[in-house]
Amino acid sequence: MTGRAPACHSGTNSPLRDLSTVAIALRALERTNTISTTFEQLGLQPELLRALADMNFTEPTPIQAQAIPHALAGNDILASAQTGSGKSAAFGLPIISALLDRPRGTTHALILAPTRELAEQITVHLTALAKHTTIRVAAIYGGVAFGKQITALKRGTEIIVATPGRLLDHMREGNARLRDVSILVLDEADRMLDMGFLPSVRKILSLLPKERQTLFFSATLPPAISALVREMLNEPVRIELALQSAHIETLTQRLYAVPQEKKTELLIELLKDNNIFTAIAFTRTKARANRLAAALSKHDVPTELIHGDRSQAQRTRALDSLKKGKVRILVATDIAARGIDVAELGHVINYDVPLAAEDYVHRVGRTARAKASGDAITFVASDEEPLIHKIEYVLGRKLEREVNPLFPEVPAVAPKPRRVFSSRSRRRR
């Protein structure tokens, strides 16, 4: 933990030094604990309420209702929440609110994200929220030329949304000046560590002002993140919503037992149902994503592909094609898929069972959004059964199993998990 004073303490460099603003935020905190909260009740400025109305946002999501008052009050936040829960507005609205009376042309807020897609998505979202203000947002990520990013940085931007590697490149070249950053956000920090960004994150943190407000969003808290939390945050408010997306009433979740070598055949069989019109199919590796996309295309299923080896132009085109209905299936890996946001996505297909239960939640949370219905389908090979048992344990319930249409005579029952004995227990026997 740093030695800085609490972010809302009088005399600090907190962006929320106006005590009347803090008082409004504290009253909003009381309301979120007692009644259904509206955006108006959160104490947001008229410019932000107009933008929310333009975007047809009528009421806060749970993460927004809980995080916005604390952020407006200047508190550090440690939140467990997945993509699709409304996190961008949960931290974006307080940031824009805090910067409305700050000088223009100076970067006051930095948001770090693990992937290009997520950085771009956050940028688009915050730009829409700031529509009725003069606050500018710049996206800084790899896979594209430096030119436009350098222009945006030299012109001056109040909010930077960046992937760690490309931001460090600009900092080494002297393009990014972060000495006035008073708000830092780490979004999907667990994925940043999975992708090996910890050294880059630590380097960036060492170059930022020590006096700042920090908002930290992560699905899980492995040991490396726990250490980072202690370094970054000062008496943070804890918000835990990470697993809620797997319990949405409008989300149907189904499992199909299927041999590994029959997964593609099963998917093609299920696609004969015209109700599966827009879907993301998740694979565990880039090689499996390539093979699945090729097989689907061979069967005349309009398909696009996103993973880490695809160029930014290819990834942007793939996502745009899915959003516009030009393709039926987007095949993606977990890492590259962070930040994919498709309105009215009907289905998520777990072609491979994810290794972590939290990744299952991230995947299925991309459908059944904004109270729409959605369907999550998971293919389970025999060697993946332990992963499903782990997911069910974390979710606290069994997932529904369907009869595999390729083998209708085989009952859709789950094998009992095999008990594993340690060498010590075997000796006692």
Concatenate the DSSP letters of all residues of 121-136 into one string: HHHHHHHHHTTTSS--
Mean pLDDT of the chain: 81
Q: Report the interhelical angle of 46-54 vs 116-129 (nearest 10°).
A: 120
Six token digits for residue 373: 């219905």
Tell me the CA distances in angstroms from 191 to 111, 122, 299, 364, 386, one per residue in order.
15, 16, 34, 17, 23
Most confident stretch, 10-19, 287-296, 331-340, 406-415: 287-296
- 391, 399 Cβ separation under 8 angstroms: yes
Domain 245-401 in the same topology as domain 19-242: yes
Q: List pLDDT tens digits, range 231-252.
A: 888 999 998 875 544 455 567 8
CATH number among 3.40.50.300, 3.40.50.2000, 3.40.50.10420, 3.60.21.10, domain 19-242 = 3.40.50.300
Average pLDDT over residues 198-215: 92
Domain segments of the chain: what residues? Answer: 19-242, 245-401
Average pLDDT over residues 261-287: 90
Average pLDDT over residues 14-26: 44
* Higher pLDDT pick, 196 / 78: 78
Q: What is the pLDDT of residue 340?
A: 66
pLDDT at 352 exceeding the cut of 70: yes
Six token digits for residue 228: 């980072």
pLDDT at 117 exceeding the cut of 60: yes
CB neighbourhood size of 237 (10 A): 18
- 389, 417 Cβ separation under 8 angstroms: yes
16: enclosing H helix or E strand: none
Cα Rg, the chain, nearest whole Å = 23
- 239, 79 Cβ separation under 8 angstroms: yes
115: pLDDT confidence band, cut at 50, 70 and 90? confident
Strand 279-283 and strand 303-306: the pairing is unpaired
Beta bridge partners of 27: none
pTM: 0.66
Q: What is the pLDDT of residue 250?
A: 64
Q: Check residue 215 and report its DSSP letter.
A: E
CATH number among 3.30.360.10, 3.30.70.360, 3.50.50.60, 3.40.50.300, domain 245-401 = 3.40.50.300
CA 171 – CA 205 distance, rounded (Å): 12
